[in-house]
Amino acid sequence: MKYIDEFKNPNAAKAILAKIAKLAETLPAGKSINIMEVCGSHTMAIARFAIKELLPSNIDLISGPGCPVCVTDSGYIDAAMKLALRDDVIIATFGDMVNVPGAIEQHHDSLTLAKIRGEGAHVEVCYSPMRAVELAESNPEHEVVFLAIGFETTAAPVVSLVDIAIKKEIGNLSLLTAFKLVPPALEALANDPELNIDAFLSPAHVSAIIGADAYKTFVHKHHTPCVIASFEPVDIIYGIEKIIEQIINKEAFVDNQYKRVVKQKGNIIALKILEKYLETADVAWRGIGVIPQSGMKLRKKYSKYDAEQRFGLQIKPGIPDKRCRCGDVLKGKIKPDKCAMFAEKCTPLNPVGPCMVSSEGACAAWYKYRR
């Protein structure tokens, strides 16, 4: 299939890897290049295709906070569980959220939506945000709260629920928002003195929404290359080659290697929806802390659809779980296998941290492909 098969071509991959090897040989002795991907789909693809193992030893790939489930703060999970325990509330959520642990502990074990659902809480797993509309219409005696998490990619279709609720005059539907923005996260990572990131492999899906131009300010300010690539092996390897070329040439610019989908200005329709219903806000990232203006919440005009306002909630940043090191994994400070709980007490069937819960989490990818 065009744009799929040709980006899985092993001969093309070998040719690009040979170029990368030659470029790596030109680096000064002791010099290495640290490239961070900020996309859960990149993390999983890199592990699945063993791309890290195919690269020269002086080229390192680091997984960053690109998994939307992983960066959802435990304080948000606690607020969602508090609502779920109400008799008049139905929680609607994507499936990968139900096993994310909160900070509330019971017998030294964090609660999850899945656990309280087993005790009678009404939690509905949705494959589409539209399911929340169906639930609200068929359960007029209940308040339906959709857990609105994710990056710019999912924010537009999820917040469209407000538009539908207004047009259909649905009064029992609201959103508990925890949307995140990628560019401010890059800023926080670049400003962290403990990190040494030379370039970013920019996310494909997010970039399709915000556009390649969204990274220009960051790249100019920090002189850090950003290359946008898709998820097929040749896409990723070619993106890495272009990053190395920029660093060797002492350049820094936004290189859009996913032009078949990503436009310079992004998806104008989606951006207009985000602009209409949402405004930027300071939000907490799990394991990282509060990043200024790194999230989006409903504008005051639409506060009746804001579950936090409707139910008088005050979502506070959660207390980090000292048992696992998901925070350090999300910031790229350690590899997943350096956490003492990895593959021992923390597994996909019994996850302690969110990086093992999500199928796009760094720990889940490492467990499945690199263990």
CATH superfamily for domain 5-68+182-256: HypD, alpha/beta domain 1 (3.40.50.11750)
| pTM of the predicted structure, to 2 decimals | 0.93
* Residue from 298, 304, 351, 335 nearest 77 by CA: 351
Q: Tell whether the model's pLDDT for residue 104 goes beyond 90.
A: no
- Fill in the amino acid letter for 300: K
Output DSSP code: residue 163.
Answer: H
Distance in angstroms (rounded) separating the CA atoms of residues 156 and 278: 10
What pLDDT does residue 317 have? 85
CA distances to 18, 47, 77, 103 from 316, rounded to whole Å, are 50, 34, 10, 11
Percent of the chain with pLDDT over 90: 85
For the chain, give every domain's residue range.
5-68+182-256, 74-181+266-310
Q: pLDDT band at residue 322, thresholds of 50, 70 and 90? A: confident
Chain-centroid distance of CA 351 in Å reads 18
Q: Tell whether the model's pLDDT for residue 106 goes beyond 80.
A: no
CATH number listed for the domain at residues 74-181+266-310:
3.40.50.11740
What pLDDT does residue 109 have? 65
Span 264-297, pLDDT tens digits: 999 999 999 999 999 999 999 988 889 999 999 9
Span 12-34, pLDDT tens digits: 999 999 999 999 999 999 999 99
Which whole number is the average pLDDT over 73-80?
93
> Do the two domains 5-68+182-256 and 74-181+266-310 of this chain adopt the same fold?
yes
Measured at the CA of 330, the angle between CA 32 and CA 193, to 5 degrees, comes to 55
Percent of the chain with pLDDT over 70: 98
What pLDDT does residue 107 have? 43
